[in-house]
Amino acid sequence: MKAPPLLPAAAAKRRMGPRVAVLALVLCSLLVPFTFLFDRSPSGYVTTEERHRQEVVLPSFEHVEERAGRGAVGGVRQDAPKKIPKGSAGGIQHHKQIDHHLSSGRAKPKVLPSPKVKPSKAVTESTRGTREVGKDINGRQKGAKADEVEKAKACQLEFGSYCLWSIEHKEVMKDSIVKRLKDQLFVARSYYPSIAKLQGQEALTQEMKQNIQNHERVLSVSTVDADLPSFINKRIEQMEQTIVRAKSCTVDCNNVDRKLRQILDMTEDEAHFHMKQSAFLYNLGAQTLPKSHHCLSMRLTLEYFKSSSLNSDDSPSRKFSDPKYRHYVILSKNILAASVVINSTVSSCKEPDNLAFHILTDAQNFYAMKHWFARNSYKKAALHIINYEGVILEKLPKYSIRQLYLPEEFRFLIRSIKQPTENTRMEYLSLFSHSHFLIPKIFKNLNKVVVLDDDVVVQRDLSFLWNIDMGDKVNGAIKFCGLKLGQVRNLFGKTAYDPKSCAWMSGVNLINLDKWREHNVTENYLLLMKKFKYKDEESLRAAAFPLSLLSFQHLIYPLDEKLTLAGLGYDYGIDEEIAQRSASLHYNGNMKPWLELGIPDYKEYWRRFLIQGDRFMEECNVNP
């Protein structure tokens, strides 16, 4: 007779199984995003397919070396970003010739006038000339304390250019009343255990307990000043009086000190955690192509296959293999970035019909690039869009570097051992990637090219580069003697190198392909590559640093420092006049001009060469 009542319970128990499973799945789906966001792994940078540049942090190292041209002694340690010099030490053989060309006028068809950049007061004093890290981050005060400078240095060392960006975009503190409530609550909690142990202070103990509970109740429902009740000022006054009475009592200071230190440690840990997450999201935004750019690429690819009239390549192919023309090579996966580089170069050239551009891109963006450059005119310059991955697979299958690698950027710390707290600077150094070393194999009929990074804006006619006789040198580049090979000797292993040889920078590079082949640079690079052990993608890209420096050792021809002004991707303190006089601008750093994170004052130099009024840009809401 008792069995029937058990049947509904059994049925309910059977129904509970699927419900629990569904609830578990819902809970997991909610927790997965949080595990990604609050992952406390030490990696501050993310590898994504759309990532324009990889910021590689080199191992720490210390070595004493004289800084060329400044007489300072620099202990170099690799890690966070600052400003690559507006040129650095370089060659002077052709100063007069180059100065003449750099000062000459330029054609301005369909190009906006040079912007009048007026940096804000907050950034004018930061990062100007050879910046001091302490001035960048600690209110730009002349007499910054040594410990504050060390904190600033540690911030950049750990978080890179995020420190500079966060200060420039620091908002005035809001909700000061909520903050005051929290401060009072911290102090009251630190005194309460000691007051509760005192004889004859039962009334004060009860009053503190009640005030603490009142503050906790208010803060549990109010996170901003607008949410606070109208009687909050009275509560604040009551707590203030209670704290004053508690401080007048004779208590064990060690207990109060211990409690305050615990609260301080917890607060510092929480602040560091949030800063770490903010830096993570900042770098994620800097290294990931915006969604609107993805939309543009997909729309152009789709339109390419729909528009048969544009599928045929009407460009004069003879130009692409004729050494008489001036050939530029650009490695890029970013349509707008490549477009700006070409448009600025063509607009600044007096004879654009002599120019031939070769854009090496990946298979994913190949058709979008073809359709974009077929729809837009760049005077009479010839444009050659090349699927790098297809060329390697079809014509150079023996080479293992089949993925397109863009120029690599490295950040490091240069420290003076004489004045370590004052003369410490963060620098960015951009170098050739693995893909650059196959350029002579891809362009077998050419004997000289200019390689441009896709984050470069050209402001003067670069035709004079073809008149430079580099002698037996291979790579014409801006030398950076702030870093010498001897300072990074631990990266080279047992490979022979000249410790006094200077580093160099990519951006605008004149390459003598004949001398490249004569010196077997590609073959030597492949031999060196076998000596460097790499386990994954990150270590492979990091190997570009020693490989580039060693492959061109004693083969660098120093170009004039006025040719390229670097640092527009992280340095807030570049002078307007210097920027306008420079033949080219290099946006090396995280703050690329096509990103929201880009430095607003420098975006105008890039925007004035951007194609305007394109319907695909409007449909995809592309507005850099």
Q: Kindly indicate the confidence band of residue 109, based on its pLDDT and cuts at 50, 70 and 90.
A: very low
Contact present, 559 and 464 (Cβ < 8 Å): no
**Which pLDDT score, from 0 to 100, does residue 179 have?**
87
564-596 residue pLDDT tens: 999 999 888 888 889 988 999 999 988 899 998
Domains of the chain: 293-408+429-619 (3.90.550.10)
**Which pLDDT score, from 0 to 100, does residue 424 have?**
67
Which amino acid, residue 481? C
- pTM, to two decimals: 0.69
Q: Give the percent of the chain with pLDDT over 90.
A: 35
Matching residue, tokens 């994620």? 284
Contact present, 539 and 491 (Cβ < 8 Å): no
Exposure string over 546-563, b if 16+ CB within 10 A, otherwise e: bbbbbbbeebbbbbbbbb
- Spatial separation of the C-alpha atoms in residues 68 and 482, rounded to whole Å: 7
Is pLDDT larger for residue 117 or for residue 492? 492
498-513 residue pLDDT tens: 888 899 999 999 999 9
Residue 98 above 70 pLDDT? Answer: no
DSSP E strands, 15-98: 55-57, 64-66, 73-77
**Which pLDDT score, from 0 to 100, does residue 224 have?**
85
**Which pLDDT score, from 0 to 100, does residue 114 have?**
44
Is pLDDT larger for residue 608 or for residue 613? 608
Residue 58 above 80 pLDDT? Answer: no
Contact present, 225 and 252 (Cβ < 8 Å): no
**Which pLDDT score, from 0 to 100, does residue 587 have?**
95
Residue 89 above 70 pLDDT? Answer: no
**Which pLDDT score, from 0 to 100, does residue 59 have?**
41
**Which pLDDT score, from 0 to 100, does residue 112 have?**
44
392-435 residue pLDDT tens: 999 998 888 889 999 999 887 776 656 655 566 777 889 999 99
Is pLDDT larger for residue 7 or for residue 314? 314
**Which pLDDT score, from 0 to 100, does residue 276 have?**
84
Q: Kindly indicate the confidence band of residue 174, based on its pLDDT and cuts at 50, 70 and 90.
A: confident
Residue 478 above 60 pLDDT? Answer: yes
Residues 380-385, mean pLDDT to the nearest whole number: 92
**Which pLDDT score, from 0 to 100, does residue 313 have?**
55
**Which pLDDT score, from 0 to 100, does residue 366 have?**
95
Residue 74 above 50 pLDDT? Answer: no
Residue 140 above 70 pLDDT? Answer: no
Residue 155 above 50 pLDDT? Answer: yes
The region of weakest confidence among 255-264, 476-485, 561-570 is: 255-264
Q: How far is CA 75 from CA 127, 131, 145, 157, 486, in A?
A: 20, 17, 21, 15, 11
Q: Kindly indicate the confidence band of residue 35, based on its pLDDT and cuts at 50, 70 and 90.
A: very low
**Which pLDDT score, from 0 to 100, does residue 571 have?**
85
451-472 residue pLDDT tens: 999 999 999 999 999 999 999 9
Q: Kindly indicate the confidence band of residue 483, based on its pLDDT and cuts at 50, 70 and 90.
A: confident
DSSP E strands, 362-402: 382-387
Q: Average model confidence (pLDDT) for the chain?
A: 76
Rounded to 5°, angle at Cα 330 from 482 and 388: 120
In terms of Cβ atoms closer than 10 Å to its own Cβ (0-12, 13-18, 19+), residue 580 is middle
- Spatial separation of the C-alpha atoms in residues 126 and 178, rounded to whole Å: 32
Name residues whose C-beta falls within 8 Å of residue 119's C-beta, 6 or more positions apart in sequence: 572, 573, 576, 601
Pick from 176-180, 275-279, 501-505 the range whose average pLDDT is largest: 501-505
- Spatial separation of the C-alpha atoms in residues 73 and 50, rounded to whole Å: 39
**Which pLDDT score, from 0 to 100, does residue 147 have?**
64
- Spatial separation of the C-alpha atoms in residues 329 and 440, rounded to whole Å: 11
Q: Kindly indicate the confidence band of residue 83, based on its pLDDT and cuts at 50, 70 and 90.
A: very low
**Which pLDDT score, from 0 to 100, does residue 516 have?**
97
